[in-house]
């Protein structure tokens, strides 16, 4: 979410030919498209999403694209947009003059090498991985190897004693597991950085056949490609974020490690995130639409669509081209979400980690965040939205810590917050000091653990943010993370249980289905009401490992039944499948 400095690109090779692709196939990456992608990376082309005035095929829109110097790579006629590449710096302005086109959004620059890693990603990682505090903790000598404890509570899975999050929402053997653990015919789509489908505590529930990677790795931001096509297999995750999310939803009950909220449902990898942490517009649109095409029941979206944290339509701080781009991001995403909901998909999203009242945002200093170094300071207001979190039809989720207080980093808002769920809070302890056990524990790809230096030569973890559990000769790794990214999959898991319990036969795709409006209604109705703190202006205190003390205050507004910190309440798996609330 940024923009500014002019990027000098190499000479361009115009690629691709106009191709009409069915909605589900819009994200397909046939050999021709892959070779075109490679040529574009070499040449430095720029990719756009062009929004037609209306859904359906648009001969006039395609003609306008060609006239403006663009080449259509793929097209989704159901939603009404085309993915286009062009080397003309005036393409976006020129194509938008057509009466058949709503506008164009720069999806990404192919061949641009940023000077440093994405600022927003670093900020996100500081929240989710506690990068700075973790380093300070290690320096202070407070890090010990994380190994599986003897269970402190009578549960089935070896690491369940560490899963305070599951106990908070009633997802336990004595709770929802014993009533409805989830059915394999219910499918959850994870739109993220990928899923390690080979992880021993995910593999049993992973659907490789319907999983799809909509992302081509870009060496200039993601690092060297591991495969000649620069397209990772569908069971691969080089970041770990998507694997953690997927594990929270549906790690199976198998005598190893942890269990998810809905340990019996099926996971589908709908990869839209780059290894570097960017979620560009085109892959997210393709993933959302594809979910509807294949009969996914719920999708998790723990991200915001780059490059704008807040998408405004008429912010005077933005140029006309930037205003148009943000309108296109808002509208194309809304069309894709509408399409998905019409096809039985309930979209669920993380509320964000900026500790901001989304009903009253005031400033955005991070946008546009791509290309790197182009961010500017903008005054924003409630007319600006984070996409897809604040898009219509999306269930948004705030984060709670072990004590059920709202997490110190979580966004909030009476209008924007639908429900709350466990996302972790490292400082939610009586002494307000960091404790990894207050974060959410879920699966960690071994390849990422090794790359991050989290393992000793013998394979044991070297810090207390990582845990290993073994069953016979099979060992699996888990990591503690926190964030609204971790809260959202808890709500998604409960939604999957609702479809499992109350769904009916899906004539179009097989398995079960339930109208998204019904799933959403039950999810909110069975969430446990949680009142605002008293006093309503609550202050979080953090005694950080480096000796500093951080404080922050936010005010909760609204009644117990619906307020800014908790929305309609904290989701509850047991109540959702028993109707007891």
From first to last of its 581 residues, what are the pLDDT tens digits of the chain?
Answer: 222 222 222 222 222 223 333 333 333 333 333 444 444 444 457 999 999 998 876 799 999 999 999 999 999 999 999 999 999 999 999 999 999 999 999 887 554 433 333 334 434 457 888 888 988 988 877 665 555 444 444 457 999 999 999 999 999 999 999 999 999 999 999 999 999 999 999 999 999 999 999 999 999 889 999 999 999 999 999 999 999 999 999 999 999 999 999 999 999 999 999 999 999 999 999 999 999 999 999 999 999 999 999 999 999 999 999 999 999 999 999 999 999 999 999 999 999 999 999 999 999 999 999 888 899 999 999 999 999 999 999 999 999 999 999 999 999 999 999 999 999 999 999 999 999 999 999 999 999 999 999 999 999 999 999 999 999 999 999 999 999 999 999 999 999 999 999 999 999 999 999 999 999 999 999 999 999 999 999 999 999 999 999 999 999 999 999 999 999 999 999 999 998 65
Strand 512-513 to 266-271 pairing: unpaired
pTM score of the predicted model: 0.91
Which regions of the chain carry the CATH code 3.30.70? 24-109
State how far the Cα of 195 lies from the Cα of 236, in Å rounded to an integer: 6
Backbone phi, then psi, for 504, in 5-degree steps? -125, 170
Which regions of the chain carry the CATH code 3.40.50.200? 128-307+321-352+386-530
State how far the Cα of 316 lies from the Cα of 330, in Å rounded to an integer: 18
State how far the Cα of 246 lies from the Cα of 255, in Å rounded to an integer: 18
Of 300, 481, 493, 483, residue with least CA distance to 407: 483
Q: In CATH, what number does 128-307+321-352+386-530 get?
A: 3.40.50.200
State how far the Cα of 221 lies from the Cα of 118, in Å rounded to an integer: 9
Vertex 513 angle, CA 508 and 518, to 5°: 135
For residue 480, the cross-strand partners are 441
Q: Which residues in 60-173 belong to E strands, given as ranges?
A: 70-76, 81-86, 101-109
| Tokens linked to 338 | 């509408």
The SS3 call for residue 468 is strand
Q: In CATH, what number does 24-109 get?
A: 3.30.70
For residue 98, the cross-strand partners are none
State how far the Cα of 495 lies from the Cα of 477, in Å rounded to an integer: 26
């Amino acid at each position: 979410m940024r923009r500014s400095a002019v990027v000098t690109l190499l000479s361009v090779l115009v690629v691709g030919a106009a191709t009409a692709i069915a909605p589900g196939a819009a994200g397909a990456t046939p050999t021709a498209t892959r070779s075109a992608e490679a040529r574009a990376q070499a040449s430095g082309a720029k990719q756009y999403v062009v929004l037609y005035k209306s859904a359906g095929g648009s001969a006039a829109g395609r003609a306008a694209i060609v006239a403006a110097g663009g080449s259509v790579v793929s097209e989704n006629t159901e939603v009404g947009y085309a993915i286009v590449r062009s080397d003309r710096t005036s393409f976006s302005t020129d194509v938008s003059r057509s009466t058949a086109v709503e506008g164009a959004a720069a999806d990404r620059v192919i061949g641009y090498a940023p000077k440093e890693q994405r600022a927003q990603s670093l900020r996100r990682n500081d929240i989710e991985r506690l990068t700075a505090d973790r380093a300070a903790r290690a320096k202070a000598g407070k890090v010990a190897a994380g190994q599986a404890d003897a269970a402190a509570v009578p549960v089935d899975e070896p690491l369940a004693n560490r899963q305070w999050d599951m106990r908070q929402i009633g997802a336990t053997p004595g709770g929802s597991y014993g009533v409805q653990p989830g059915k394999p015919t219910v499918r959850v789509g994870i739109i993220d950085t990928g899923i390690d489908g080979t992880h021993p505590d995910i593999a049993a529930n992973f659907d490789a056949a319907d999983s799809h990677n909509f992302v081509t790795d870009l060496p200039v931001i993601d690092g060297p490609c591991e495969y000649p096509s620069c397209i990772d297999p569908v069971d691969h995750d080089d970041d770990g974020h998507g694997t953690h999310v997927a594990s929270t939803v549906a790690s199976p009950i198998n005598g190893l490690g942890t269990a998810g909220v809905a340990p019996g449902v099926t996971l589908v990898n709908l990869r839209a995130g780059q290894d570097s942490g960017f979620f560009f517009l085109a892959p997210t649109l393709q993933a959302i639409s594809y979910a509807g095409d294949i009969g996914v029941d719920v999708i998790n979206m723990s991200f915001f669509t780059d490059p704008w944290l807040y998408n405004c339509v008429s912010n005077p701080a933005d140029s006309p081209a930037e205003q148009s781009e943000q309108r296109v991001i808002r509208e194309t995403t809304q069309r894709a979400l509408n399409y998905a909901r019409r096809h039985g998909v309930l979209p669920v999203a993380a509320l964000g980690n900026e500790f901001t009242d989304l009903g009253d945002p005031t400033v955005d200093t991070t946008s546009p965040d791509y290309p790197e170094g182009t961010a500017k300071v903008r005054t924003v207001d409630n007319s600006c939205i984070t996409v897809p979190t604040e898009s219509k039809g999306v269930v948004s989720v705030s984060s709670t810590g072990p004590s059920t207080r709202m997490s110190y980093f979580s966004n909030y808002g009476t209008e924007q917050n639908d429900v709350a769920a466990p996302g972790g809070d490292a400082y939610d302890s009586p002494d307000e000091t960091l404790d990894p056990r207050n974060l959410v524990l879920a699966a960690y790809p071994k390849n990422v653990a090794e790359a991050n230096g989290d393992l000793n030569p013998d394979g044991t973890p070297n810090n207390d943010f990582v845990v290993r559990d073994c069953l016979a000769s099979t060992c699996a790794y888990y990591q503690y993370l926190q964030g609204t990214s971790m809260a959202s999959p808890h709500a998604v898991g409960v939604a999957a249980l609702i479809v499992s319990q109350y769904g009916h036969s899906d004539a179009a795709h097989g398995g079960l289905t339930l109208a998204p409006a019904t799933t959403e209604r039950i999810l909110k109705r069975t969430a446990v009401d949680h009142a605002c703190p008293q006093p309503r202006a609550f202050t979080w205190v953090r005694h950080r490992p480096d000796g500093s003390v951080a404080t922050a205050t936010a005010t909760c507004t609204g009644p117990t039944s619906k307020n800014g910190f908790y929305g309609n309440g904290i989701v509850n798996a047991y109540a959702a499948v028993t109707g007891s609330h």
